[in-house]
Amino acid sequence: MAKIKTKFVCTECGTESPKWMGKCPGCGEWNSMVEERETAHKAQAASRAFQTQEKPKAIIHIEGGSEPRIETRMRELNRVLGGGVVPGSLILVGGDPGIGKSTLLLQTSHELAAAGRTVLYVSGEESVRQTKMRADRLGALHERLFVLCETNVEAIGEAIEQVQPDFLVIDSIQTVYEPSVPSAPGSVAQVRECTAWFMRAAKIRGIATVLVGHVTKEGAIAGPRLLEHMVDCVLYFEGERHHSYRLLRAVKNRFGSTNEIGIFEMSEAGLREVANPSELFLSERPLGVSGSTVAASMEGTRPVLVELQALVAPTMFPSPRRMSAGIDHQRMALIIAVLEKRLGLFLQNQDAYLNVAGGVRLDEPAVDLAAAVSLASSFRDAPARPYDVIFGEVGLTGEVRAVSRAEQRVKEAAKLGFKRVIMPERSMRGWKPPEGIEIIGVGSVEEALSVALG
């Protein structure tokens, strides 16, 4: 019998150790070392699988040109991927259980099949009949869409040889296994080896491959961190369970920008694209209520108008509470400190809550000014004008700094019928505002509050 070797591997950074340790010596994470068993047979099989017949070439002799992309009928998905699916790319899609990952990929597979592409959908969690039932509900039936219920990588390879697909979906990577690896499916060794196998198949045969990954309770994709480094693109499918809206966000993309988001709405017939997210996020906005403002944010190349809601109320505790949803908590504390120091608002005995309506998360500093106006509006109980749009970055000295792509934000506000925009005065240079909307440039938070709440 082949000698079995035991080692311990860190799930975060891949550091190997002959014995278990509570703290990884490579990355410093606690309780991240897991046991793996390796045989000589497995090592030889892996070495043979990684052999290639290609030889090194001088880079000046390699033919260039951009890869032709496979466009889907979902424009939101094309936007996140950078214009479409690149042949031979390896894409990892993660998200909470039941969020709609399988629904999104089954709809995408149907659309690609309807466009003349051959698609192989491999499910390790559902039987063929269960997948057919879901396809009937979604209307995703086509003769070029092939479905397979299999978890053995070698059997999946035989199906690939038989079908010769242009697009491959593995749902999910934690359920498949390599027979030569003596570990259970979903373990670190199995996930790493199976992902490497699909990566080789995608690169050698030019098959666009999508891997569905489970997530942990912290929201990260389960398995070793090496998994995200091996793939070309990492997408997260996000959304609240109590909302019907879903956000597809790119965390890593070798063929496009990581700042784009796609917005979908979950319905009985599957996922539906949201063409105008600004109108969606503002559909239930109350008018004439203190603490409510509209901010203009950029999500990649798309301007999005969202509602910010603030509530400032007297506290009953020695230390006031500071809570935020959709905005970084530290950024909110910074804005409150600026309001206290530069404008004299006494918020030390007030609880402050800040929320972005609709479940979207805003990361750019251009929403600072709208957040400051919302907090001051709730503290003074003075509502802002219902048809104002506010954006700008707030500095520690109370100044309002310029932001990028101000023209696109203003055009989006004018398209949705807003009458006035309060923005940094330095961002008003070099472009002409559209007709029918008033532009007010401000240089400080105090000036912005006098205009918005005066």
380-401 tens-digit pLDDT: 999 999 999 999 999 999 999 9
Pick the closest to residue 49 from 141, 163, 181 (CA basis).
181
Summarize the confidence of residues 19-32 as an average pLDDT.
87
Q: Is the confidence at residue 190, as pLDDT, over 80?
A: yes
Whether residue 99 is annotated as binding a ligand: the answer is yes
pLDDT given for residue 65 in this prediction: 62
φ and ψ of 299, to 5 deg: -110, 90
Strands 350-356 and 302-314, by their bridges, are antiparallel
Give whole-number Cα distances, 99 to 94, 239, 360, 414, in Å. Answer: 10, 7, 15, 34
Whether residue 171 is annotated as binding a ligand: the answer is no
pLDDT band at 302 (very low <50, low <70, confident <90, very high): confident
Record the tokens describing residue 192, joined without a space: 């790493």
Give whole-number Cα distances, 205 to 242, 277, 323, in Å. Answer: 42, 38, 50
Summarize the confidence of residues 341-358 as an average pLDDT.
93
Pick the closest to residue 130 from 72, 171, 185 (CA basis).
171
The secondary structure of 29-50 as a DSSP string is: -BS-EEEEEEEHHHHHHHHHHT
Record the tokens describing residue 305, joined without a space: 């108008």
Q: Give the class (CATH, top level) of 279-453.
A: alpha beta
Whether residue 101 is annotated as binding a ligand: the answer is yes
Beta bridge partners of 405: none
Record the tokens describing residue 20, joined without a space: 């278990």
55-93 tens-digit pLDDT: 888 988 877 666 688 998 898 999 999 889 999 999 999
Q: Is the confidence at residue 123, as pLDDT, over 70?
A: yes
Helices 128-138 and 101-114 meet at what angle, rounded to 10?
Answer: 70
pLDDT given for residue 5 in this prediction: 76
Strands 388-390 and 292-299, by their bridges, are parallel
Whether residue 383 is annotated as binding a ligand: the answer is no
DSSP classification of residue 272: E
- Distance CA(326)–CA(329), nearest Å, equals 9
Beta bridge partners of 149: 123
Whether residue 100 is annotated as binding a ligand: the answer is yes
What are the domain boundaries of the chain? 4-41, 68-275, 279-453
Pick the closest to residue 375 from 312, 313, 452, 320 (CA basis).
312
Whether residue 179 is annotated as binding a ligand: the answer is no
Percent of the chain residues past pLDDT 90, beyond the cut = 56
Whether residue 213 is annotated as binding a ligand: the answer is no
Q: 68-275 has which CATH code?
A: 3.40.50.300
237-291 tens-digit pLDDT: 987 666 778 889 898 999 888 878 888 988 888 899 987 888 878 888 888 899 9
φ and ψ of 248, to 5 deg: -105, 115
Taking only Cα atoms into account, the Rg of the chain, rounded to an integer number of angstroms, comes to 26
- Distance CA(176)–CA(190), nearest Å, equals 8
Whether residue 324 is annotated as binding a ligand: the answer is no
Strands 438-442 and 420-424, by their bridges, are parallel
pLDDT band at 217 (very low <50, low <70, confident <90, very high): low
Looking at every residue in the chain, the average pLDDT score rounds to: 88
Give whole-number Cα distances, 258 to 80, 215, 451, in Å. Answer: 8, 20, 36
Question: Is 265 within 8 Å of 244 (Cβ atoms)?
Answer: yes
* Nearest 10 degrees: Cα torsion 87, 88, 92, 98: 50
pLDDT given for residue 395 in this prediction: 95
Strand order in the sheet with 388-390: 322-325, 350-356, 302-314, 292-299, 388-390, 420-424, 438-442
Percent of the chain residues past pLDDT 70, beyond the cut = 92
41-59 tens-digit pLDDT: 444 444 344 445 678 889 8
pLDDT given for residue 210 in this prediction: 96
Strand segments (E) across 300-367: 302-314, 322-325, 350-356
